[in-house]
Structure 1
Amino acid sequence: MWNFDNFLGKAQLYFSRAASHPHAEDDEVALWILLGFEFLLRAPLARVHPTLLADPTGDSIMHAAGFRAKNPKSIQTSGVISRLTLVIPEFSERESEAKFLIGLRNEELHSSESPLAVDQAQWLPHFIRVADTLCAHLGLKTEDVVGADIVAHGRNLVDVEDKKLTHEVKTRIQAAKQFFSRLRLDEVQARIKAAESSVGRDALVRQYLDSVTPGSGQLAFERVECPACGNRVPLRLESVRTTKEWLEGDEVKSEIVYIARQLLCPICELSLVTTEELRIAGVPQQYVIERSEDLMERYAGDFEDDYGND
């Protein structure tokens, strides 16, 4: 009932269900992760001794010690978190985050609200940090337990603000607003026209490509409202994971999760060059783009024209 390997295996099973979901932003993804999180939390205590997970009332402790007992019960998750701070010294720094995640799960399961229908940046980075602490204590790689795609996704989202950087970004936006306010209407129109021309677009793309480091994910662009001048400008995106494919009619579909990386406004000259700067400026971090491929086209080249006619 309180076996370490079984807890770990069950956690991995639930995490794999989240990773294999075809829609990246579906509430079900969050629910599978948070259900798996429960078992990951209990695994370190089970490895020390099953009695750490047994309810102190009744015969549960005797059951954990190897004796037969009727209806053994586990301690509540709040007790698990409290005991983890004693078993894993580093866990004290993650205690509040663990409680936040369990609270989110409880609200989803026990209320009529939908707390998981939120931006994943509000909870996924918290989960990754707690999982990192638990897995490091167990001598395991978080990617091997949770899944490389989900871990990469969580680590690319930003949820903690640097006060110094926040001040810098806000100052930069204000300066860009002032610059834009001094432009004449014909100058604004000329800048917009230049940015929308093929030459302007190519120049902007080259700027983006020059900033890409080797080994980066697939690039894409999304037009968003500039935080300073309000014009629609290209935002550079970088892929962090691709969902499991699904078949819809004659098309094979999947979703690619992109993280915002850089915004260079050619109109007011605002420059935001990291995901954290974009978050501070109020630009959404995450974008999900559906990819579609014709089923016949995918497999058309796999066989010779006379295959099966000999």
Structure 2
Amino acid sequence: MDWSADTLKAKAKLYGQRAHEQQIESAQFGFWMSLCLELLARAALAKLHPVLLADPRDEGNIHYSFGIIPKGNVRSVQAKTVFARCSIFVPGYTDKMSAHCLILADRRNRELHTGVAAFEGHDASTWLPQTYGVMEVLLKYLDDDFTGLFGNEQARVAQMMLKDRRSQTKSEVQSKIAAARKAFETLNGQEKSERASKAQEMLVSWVAKSALRKATKCPSCGFNAALSGESQNRGPVQIDEAAATITREVRVLPHALTCPTCGLKLDGYQELLEANLGQIFTTVEEEDPIEFFGIVPEEHVDVDALVRRYHEDEYNNE
């Protein structure tokens, strides 16, 4: 099957090799790397099941993913759908990674379908480290690595670039923490107390609004800070008939921290990882019974009668 993980990964390897036959700053290098990245993402989805690649608008595409050859050409989902699904199914693949992949995919589309030289003039240092970071996550899910994809020499380059990127990120995170701590320490005792009191009150309200948030100790000032993330997966539904609630456990990959007390802000999973705040956390979200069961209130309530009754009550109260 054309959508098998092995076939797609083999093609990604071919395109990766073609990329590295070019100069790293050339447009051809960026073009082939964008194709290599998308094929790795498709291979990751196909490893779980090829049906994740099938365009659902034609059931023949779905049949094909199960080995049944339909009439006509089969179609797979667009790149943006592939990257979005990776953020759901591939551990460690974040929404920020999906956004990076979409930028490269858009650049590739403009290269192929317009008169724009979309890959010209882009310094590799502005996009290649992030691309290697996404590839590393996808390759891990595919039980592979850079050596298997590029060969020994280019694998060392990729690993060195990622090491440098992480070292730079670590230095930036340490600087952010130190700057926030220094600014907070310049406040007098009363100012610290007043700010902390207001901030913690706001934090409780903010966290309560979403299951993808929690309070955690700020690495700068020690007070609680707001940690938010994106859903990795959800557990089975728990229905409590006595309390009339529907809940489920949510596993959240953190991607941002904001401290309302000292002002520290960390953005992205990698920055949180360097601050020892990158661990997946679990929370509980409550489902709306109407949405969960697909209830249409209008089918169970006479809206016109309610409107008439409302106006009658208004008239009688005058």
TM-score w.r.t. the length of structure 1 is 0.48
TM-score w.r.t. the length of structure 2 is 0.47
